[in-house]
Structure 1
Amino acid sequence: TLRYSPTDFADIKTLAASFETDAGPRDSVYHLHPQDHDRIEKQHWYELVCRATEITIEELVESRQEARRSFCSTPLSLNGYLVVLVVQLAAAPYDAYYTLPGKANANRPASLPHAAVLEFLHECTRALREADTADNEQPVLDRDYNEVLRGAGRRLMLRISPGSAHGLYDACLGIAALRHEGGEGQGTMILARRQHAAIVPVLTLEAPVPLRDHRSIRKLLELTEGRTGLVSDASHVFGLGYIVEEDDPKYEPLATVQFTNHYGWELRHGGHTLMRVVSNTPRLPQSKVQADNFARVAHQVFPNLNDDEVAYLWELALEASAQSHGTMLCISTGAKAEAERLRRQCFRVVPRVMTTPVLRQASSIDGAVLVEPDGTCYAIGVILDGQATEKGDSSRGARYNSAVRYTSSSPYPCLAVVVSEDGWIDLLPSTMHT
């Protein structure tokens, strides 16, 4: 069924035309080249139509009490129509993430989800524009979603860069990819214009180092510790400094890049994590598994479990999520049979009820810990198998993808808690039983 009808948007052009009264001095500006003037006038009209569409949809959402956030693309002229693409997201999860202060727009994303929506709308607009000329055998909207996320990451970094300097995202990738004397790159880089009032200088370089000199920046990161970080305007590094305390009149929330490990870094602002980048792929900041989310998924997979049994499994999942090196807890109604089937690729154990201290020890080796929903453990160090599936993700590691294959093809109801070495935590229920 259609959520909205054409009559809901019948007055879009009239509303857009009413905004012309707010044009200000634009009417007194004429560009020397006629084509430039026509192009800018058309672009201005498209912006008004986009604004009118956004207002109309917001009014519809509010009148129907829909908990949604709506985003519109710039109109595209197609077969005599102005086509505006609209993406709507559930308000609660979207609003749960920290957003940058200030007004957000198509050139100033407020968060990684917002930047991802803008990048997706851009791709959809391109796909519509190229639909008539594209090869029919090749899908027009064929950009990998990880590429869309990378584009979103670049948009967000451009927004947060002092002076809107380009290249910050790729520079951080290059720095994080390097090691110094065999060690992983860890340290902080503060993003601010030179001589920012909220930064106390500790050490100033006589000759600023270009950010494109990844090896030098990687070496300088060794100087950072605690609050003290490299100070950069996204083009050069000027030295070391730290941000003043929050109660200082000069304080201002500034963006920082925290290099966490090899190929890993985080973008933060005012103490909030905006995005985590692992192996060149931006991710949303993710906390430990939430109890209510785990209980909801567990009840879906194992409907016969009572609340106490789910709480017990939650304790095991929480212990698994605390492992820094990565691990996997696989809860399956067929754990006993699976331990027998996979006996060549696991260590079978005498059945015993799993406890959190034992799980901490059992998960210290590679492979999954295989338990029944009642907590009885039958095997450790299990190398899971399964059929290849389109749900795999080449940007994730072998642990995650093996769990996806296993849960997608398991004949038994099962739930895998996957903790990756990069800190990413996933709950993967068996697809045949949810």
Structure 2
Amino acid sequence: MSLHDVVEEMARAHDLEAGTYSLASEGARVSSYDVVFLLEFTEIAAASRDGVMMLGPKGETVVGLIKAASHVLLDRLASEARKEDAGFRLGIKNGEIEQILMAAGETLIDDLQFYTRNDLGWNRRLFDSLNVISSLRYESAEARATVVVGVDEPVGGFLMKFRNPVPLSNSVWARKTVQMAAGDCCVYSDGASMLGMVRRVEHRRDEFWIRLKGQGKWEAGTGALPVVDVRFGLPSRPIRRLEKKRFEATFSRVFTNPTRNGIDQIWALLEGVFAQGHGALIVVDEAASSEAGRLASQATPIEPVALSADVAARATAIDGAILLDPDGVCHGVGVILDGESYLLGTASRGARFNSALRYVQARKGIGRLAVVVSEDGQVDLIPRLRPQINLDELTRLVFLASEPPLDDVETPEYRRACEVLVRYHGEYLGFLLSELRKDLDEEGRGKAIVRMFSASSVVDEPGFGSETFDPHRSDFPHASSEDVGPADGGDNT
């Protein structure tokens, strides 16, 4: 067993006890010492890392950009440690960060090929080939197509099979070929060459997909999940699509009497809008009929109708929002929204996002929901709801987290309480303590808050503090329920 394997086995035992996630480098000899570098992630960071589970020779493993970048960084650390002047050069320059990310992108695409091709060999230049193909135009048109990479014959066979496969390394020929792919018609590839055209069906475990999204832009994923988003050769975390489960959960909290038909009708409409690939704004309002009349001077009111996904997608071609009621009936298109300024708006987002935020927050007693689709494909659901937690459970967590740990030993339960409060209710901590811990003076409450932040690992996560939640009447239901709690909030990203 290698030194790397020994350390990784020890790290796994530690991870089980501490609730962490660790990755180890290969061993390096430094002077008279054998050195292994270890990266450790907190439980929450490990649980939320952006990757997918794939089946490999040693069982299931995570394939994702964070893991790939971690391995590239660990390899670089081990390589530096093997040099004669080990430890002399410290730090990573800005240009090197991009190099690490690009190397991570190559590693990730190699991983996708490895775990789908079952070690049958793969194209180590696929990442570079995709960057070149996506950057080329064909008769002024940008590349927009889906390529399915697999091993065996595609499910359902070929619509068209090329007698001479098109090498991906021949970027001009490959770019010309993908121009034939549109809608549910895709290119099928073995990772080295394009083999023909197929109709898109449900992806198998031994396949992954590549979606070309315009000049220099593409993404790759497996099943329904994107794994990496690439722009002009630089990979980044994938833009997560709005999932139906999260949409349904928010819809059910915002509206008093939601119906299954209404949810399904609106979701089908949204899927049509998402597929258009450009910005859009859809608003669902309990008072949609009267709002269409009130905003008539800055909208195009229409006779109430349940729009098809195709018609809704066409309606997003003009400025303004599509205005629906909770049953999915449309009352207006091109609606320019109003609303007073909102404290939790953000200058880093565009006018579409902030106008939707102002409108939804303008009338607290009315059920309103907005779906904002940005030009880059990001989808925001407004209001941005935090996980529900009943008042009894919230009170229990506040008392648990505000007491100093016994003998200064932070138990997993104590750390978990601090993480939930800091992550989801950080702006309320002073108010919660003043209301629930009246036995503590101002200094005691201040010390309790400091302890909570110190014990919470979420403050060390990249981007901590950038996540914002909108106050909502459904945040703290009075009724106790095992189905409502801090761990049941789902994905709030």
The TM-score range, normalised by the shorter chain, is 0.5 to 0.7
* 1:172 positional shift: 0.7
Secondary structure in structure 2 of the residue aligned to 1:406:
helix
How far, CA to CA, are the matches of 2:376 and 2:56 in structure 1? 29
1:111 maps to 2:149: no
Secondary structure in structure 1 of the residue aligned to 2:43:
strand
Partner of 2:110: 158
Aligned residues: 340
Partner of 1:101: 56
Post-superposition Cα deviations, 1:146-199, rounded to whole Å, max 9, x if no partner, equal: 99987654331122457565442232122122221234435666768xxx8879
Q: How does the TM-score come out when normalised to structure 2?
A: 0.49
Unpaired runs of 5+ residues, structure 1, are: 1-21, 24-43, 62-68, 135-139, 244-250, 394-399
How far, CA to CA, are the matches of 2:290 and 2:56 in structure 1? 55
1:219 maps to 2:166: no
Partner of 1:203: 163
Change (3 A) 1:332 1:165: same
Residue from 222, 225, 249 that aligns with 1:296: 249
* 1:331 positional shift: 3.6
1:176 maps to 2:142: no
Residue from 318, 321, 324 that aligns with 1:365: 318
Secondary structure in structure 2 of the residue aligned to 1:349:
strand
Secondary structure in structure 2 of the residue aligned to 1:418:
strand
Whether the 8 Å contact between 1:353 and 1:376 is mirrored in structure 2 is: yes
Residue from 401, 406, 413 that aligns with 2:355: 406
Partner of 2:265: 315
How far, CA to CA, are the matches of 1:49 and 1:297 in structure 2? 44
Post-superposition Cα deviations, 1:382-409, rounded to whole Å, max 9, x if no partner, equal: 456878989687xxxxxx8444333555
Whether the 8 Å contact between 2:263 and 2:326 is mirrored in structure 1 is: yes
Whether the 8 Å contact between 2:51 and 2:62 is mirrored in structure 1 is: no
* 1:274 positional shift: 5.3
* Matched ranges for 1:267-346 at <5 A: 267=220, 275=227, 277=229, 279=231, 284=238, 289-290=243-244, 292-300=245-253, 302=254, 305-308=255-258, 312=262, 315-323=265-273, 324-325=275-276, 326=278, 327-331=280-284, 346=298
Change (3 A) 1:155 1:426: farther
Partner of 1:246: none
* Matched ranges for 1:224-235 at <5 A: 229=188, 232-233=191-192
* 1:141 positional shift: 11
Whether the 8 Å contact between 2:134 and 2:214 is mirrored in structure 1 is: yes
Partner of 1:427: 381
Residue from 16, 26, 29 that aligns with 1:58: 16
How far, CA to CA, are the matches of 1:60 and 1:230 in structure 2? 43
Change (3 A) 1:297 1:151: farther
Q: Aligned residues: percent identity?
A: 19
1:329 partner amino acid: I
How far, CA to CA, are the matches of 2:179 and 2:325 in structure 1? 47
How far, CA to CA, are the matches of 1:141 and 1:306 in structure 2? 54
Partner of 2:23: 72
Partner of 1:38: none
How far, CA to CA, are the matches of 1:204 and 1:185 in structure 2? 22
Q: How does the TM-score come out when normalised to structure 1?
A: 0.54
Instruction: Give the alignment's Cα RMSD to 1 decimal.
Output: 5.8
